[in-house]
């Protein structure tokens, strides 16, 4: 009975380790993602604006401008700042961030510094290859200050796909040639030297 329980615990632990090893990157691992500024660019397209609710709908795609592939399901876009028509990201009088004044709808989480992020949908492949563009992420922003014209700016975070480890191949060992067997004459000379045969017997043996 105890052995059966031990086997069940062992199997269960192995399953948990396998799940953790092959699980995708989740929101809890956002702090482990790299800032891809300069390597990936976010392109923002305004799809619609609801004047009644002052809600804006955007499509945001990511372009891989680097020479390395990125792990597709690790990519996120972070709403880094919002600027007004003068290009400022804060209120002049209160110095309040414009980003904190906006209502961000449907975000997938927040970064350590409190900025909302959205996950980039994974395409047909496991990676976002160099010079390719991702599927769009949908971003909704509600502006309580109806008269303010604003522009959202995003930065991209994710993981670079590491190249596969090269297998270390052992060099083929050159077989060591076996020393040639002593010739008949050398063997005879050795036997004579050892006193095992006489010189006359040696000459008789060496004759063809």
| Residues 40 and 103 occupy one common structural domain | yes
CATH of the domain at 81: 2.60.40.290
User: Residue 207 belongs to what domain range?
Assistant: 182-208
pTM, to two decimals: 0.65
pLDDT tens, position by position, 137-147: 999 999 988 76
Q: For the residues 161-168, what does the mean pLDDT come to?
A: 80
Helix, strand, coil shares, percent, the chain, to 5? 25, 30, 45
| Residues 107 and 194 occupy one common structural domain | no
Indicate the angle between helix axes 184-194 and 199-206, nearest 10 degrees: 170
pLDDT at 73 > cutoff 60: yes
């Amino acid at each position: 009975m105890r052995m059966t329980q031990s086997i069940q615990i062992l199997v269960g632990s192995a399953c948990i380790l396998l799940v953790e090893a092959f699980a995708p990157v989740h929101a809890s691992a956002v702090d482990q993602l790299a800032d891809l500024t300069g390597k990936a660019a976010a392109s923002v397209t305004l799809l619609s604006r609801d004047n009644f609710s002052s809600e804006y709908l955007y499509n945001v795609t990511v372009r891989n401008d680097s020479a390395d592939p990125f792990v597709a399901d690790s990519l996120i876009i972070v709403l880094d700042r919002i600027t007004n028509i003068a290009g400022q990201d804060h209120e002049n009088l209160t110095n309040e961030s414009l980003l904190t004044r906006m209502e961000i709808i449907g975000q997938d989480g927040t970064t350590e510094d409190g900025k909302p992020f959205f996950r980039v949908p994974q395409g047909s492949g496991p990676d976002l290859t160099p010079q390719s563009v991702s599927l769009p992420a949908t971003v909704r922003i509600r502006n309580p200050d109806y008269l303010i014209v604003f522009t959202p700016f995003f930065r991209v975070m994710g993981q670079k796909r590491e190249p596969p480890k090269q297998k270390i191949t052992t060099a083929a060992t050159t077989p060591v040639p076996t020393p040639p067997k002593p010739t008949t004459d050398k063997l005879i000379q050795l036997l004579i030297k050892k006193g095992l045969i006489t010189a006359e017997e040696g000459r008789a043996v060496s004759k063809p």
